[in-house]
Amino acid sequence: MEETNKKQRDFWSGKGGDVWVEKQNAMDVMLEPLGVAALSKLPDDLGKHILDIGCGCGSTTLSIAGRLSKNSKITGVDISEPMLDQARKLATERNLLNVDFQVMDIQTELKKENIYSAAYSRFGVMFFEAPVPAFENIYRSLQQEAKFSFVCWQSPQLNPWQSLSIQVIKEFVDLPSPPKRSPGPFAFAEVDYLESIMSDSGFTDINIESHEQEVTMFTGKSLEDASNDYLSINPVVTEMLKEAPESTKKDISSALQELFKTYSDGDGLHFPSATWLVTAKK
């Protein structure tokens, strides 16, 4: 059981988590509008206790906490200890008392039943080695009739911030494509697969809506900084380049800068994106 999701734990509680803490603001600029789209699918009244899955540095959790009634609370869970340390720090700075953060692997450690009045996730549910048991745990933890909403990526081909960048990197290193449906940002690219996970986990009233929206990355960054930041936040790329010569890393960075010029307006990169907005209820 301890080995379950070990690679994910090692990455997000190691250098990967540290990097995302450092790049938190840039990631929030990119992801917040997509998270808001998923959150809008939940009722205005979220009930007494909300679960935020894969909350990272806590921006979604804190945003939801600010709109709750004084008798409601929200729990943010993640497997990244450095990111949750940052989340707790931000909650303290904002004097938010209705927030709790827990280091937890939903797949193996969420054992509560009939606790949460709603559940939400912004790109935090695609990393399970066994998604159905993980989603079954989420299902059991919800109160009857509770709603669950999340946003996840469609295929890389519909998200050029990923697909075109990976194409450039493959010109310099042998970067293997991850197995279909394996844990990672694009695990739920196939709508039929995603729907089967939801239904097999017990959820009803499942709705999966395609959502296309421009995203902004690396606001205020030079093209060089943007390319280096991109390389640092992608766990697969980070691992592959760990042993690569510095000359190769510089060549990749230069090539990415050329690609990014096409999408730059001088203050950030602007890419089309495609996501699934998923809602269901217990």
Report pLDDT digits (tens) over 109-167: 999 999 999 999 999 999 999 999 999 999 999 999 999 999 999 999 999 999 999 99
d(C-alpha 33, C-alpha 12), whole Å? 23
Tokens of 242: 């760990």
Instruction: Give yes or no for a contact between 76 and 101, defined as CB atoms under 8 angstroms apart.
Output: yes
pLDDT reading at 14 higher than 80: no
Alpha carbon separation from 176 to 32, 67, 240, 247 (Å, rounded): 30, 43, 9, 21
d(C-alpha 169, C-alpha 216), whole Å? 21
This prediction has a pTM of 0.90
Q: Which of the residue ranges 30-34, 196-200, 238-242 would you say has the lowest mean pLDDT? A: 238-242
pLDDT reading at 30 higher than 50: yes
Q: Where are the domains of the chain?
A: 6-159+179-214+274-281
DSSP letter assigned to residue 130: S
The CATH superfamily assigned to 6-159+179-214+274-281 is: Vaccinia Virus protein VP39 (3.40.50.150)
* 22: confidence class by pLDDT, cuts 50, 70, 90: low
pLDDT reading at 1 higher than 50: no
Q: Which of the residue ranges 54-68, 123-137, 224-238 would you say has the lowest mean pLDDT? A: 224-238
Q: What is the pLDDT of residue 229?
A: 86
Report the mean per-residue pLDDT for the chain: 90
Give the mean model confidence (pLDDT) for residues 63-91.
Answer: 93
Tokens of 186: 């694009």
Nearest to 147 by CA among 275, 44, 32: 44
Q: Assign 210 to helix, strand or coil.
A: strand
Q: Is 114 exposed, middle or buried (0-12, 13-18, 19+ CB in 10 A)?
A: exposed
Give the mean model confidence (pLDDT) for residues 255-263.
Answer: 96
Q: What is the pLDDT of residue 20?
A: 58
> Highest mean pLDDT: which of 1-10, 26-35, 237-246?
26-35
Where would I find the H helices in the chain?
6-12, 15-22, 24-39, 59-65, 81-93, 106-109, 131-141, 160-169, 191-200, 223-233, 235-241, 246-261
Q: Is 107 exposed, middle or buried (0-12, 13-18, 19+ CB in 10 A)?
A: buried
Which residues, 6 or more positions from 199, have their beta carbon under 8 angstroms from its beta carbon? 206
